[in-house]
Amino acid sequence: MKAWFIRIVSSFMGTCRETSDACTDLAEGALSDAERARVRRHLRLCPGCRAYRAQMEAGLKALHELPQQELAETEKDELMRRFRERQERRVR
């Protein structure tokens, strides 16, 4: 597709990467009205992102159903380190 067309469409409904990054915020109600509308427009038109969101929500639901356990501080630190590394790799 032409680059100008992709830029116009992306400004209206966002890219798949932006949408997948925003899915957690959408689930938590942490998006502005404009961002929420853009993500929802994208989800209506993109079956891949709808599938990603469904998988993410199924995972969150399963996690919420697990009994809660306290983590040791070292375990929390390790999980946060791994999460930050993963986020850094996604940004590159």
H-assigned helices in 1-92: 3-13, 16-28, 33-45, 47-65, 73-91
Measured in residues, the chain has a length of 92
- Cα–Cα distance measured from residue 10 to residue 70, given in angstroms and rounded to the nearest whole number: 42
Asked if pLDDT for residue 6 goes beyond 60, the answer is no
Using one digit for the tens of pLDDT, what is the confidence trace for 42-68? 899 889 999 999 998 899 889 889 898
- For residue 28, pLDDT over 90 is answered with no
pLDDT range class, residue 4, cuts 50, 70, 90? low
Which residue range(s) make up the domain with 26?
A: 3-91
Cβ neighbors of 22 (< 8 A, separation 6 or more) are 14, 31, 35, 39
Cα torsion angle, 36, 39, 43, 49, sign: negative
Query: pTM of this prediction?
Result: 0.61
Check pLDDT > 90 for residue 27: no
Number of compact structural domains in the chain? 1
